[in-house]
């Protein structure tokens, strides 16, 4: 799953962590500036990078970032304030 999932970007994880079972966000970004685009596939990343390079020829380094978040459920016996 690679679509943006803002409403549950940090789902509670009970038990062992299984990153591949959690929602993930994926984007391609330029290493020379701050521009980026959410992508669902390698083809979308390639298309965006190619177009970005066309309009900014000196920007020729790109990376795809995949981000997965999770939250640890609150402990029942919290003793510290
Ligand atoms: Zn750039």
**Is 53 among the domain residues?**
yes
Domain count, the chain: 1
Predicted confidence at residue 75, as pLDDT, reads 84
Residue 57 lies in a domain: yes
Q: How remote is the CA of residue 31 from the centroid of ligand 1, in Å?
A: 7
Q: Counting beta carbons within 10 angstroms of the beta carbon of residue 28, is it exposed (0 to 12), middle (13 to 18) or buried (19 or more)?
A: buried
Task: List the domain range (segments joined by +) for residue 55.
Answer: 1-72
For residue 81, is it within any domain? no
Question: Residue-wise pLDDT tens for the chain (81 aa)?
Answer: 444 445 568 999 999 999 999 999 999 999 999 999 999 999 999 999 999 999 999 999 999 999 999 999 888 766 666
Structure confidence at residue 74 (pLDDT): 86
User: Around ion ligand 1, which residues have CB less than 5 A away?
Assistant: 30, 32-33, 35, 56, 59
Q: What is the pLDDT of residue 59?
A: 98
Gap from CA of 78 to ligand 1 centroid (Å): 47
């Amino acid at each position: 799953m690679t679509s943006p999932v803002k409403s549950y970007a940090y789902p509670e994880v009970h038990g062992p962590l299984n990153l591949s079972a959690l929602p993930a966000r994926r984007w391609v970004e330029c290493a020379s500036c701050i521009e980026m685009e959410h992508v669902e596939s390698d083809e979308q990343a390639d298309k965006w990078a190619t177009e970005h390079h066309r309009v900014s020829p000196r920007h020729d380094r790109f990376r795809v970032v995949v981000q997965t978040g999770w939250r640890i459920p609150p402990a029942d016996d919290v003793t510290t304030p």
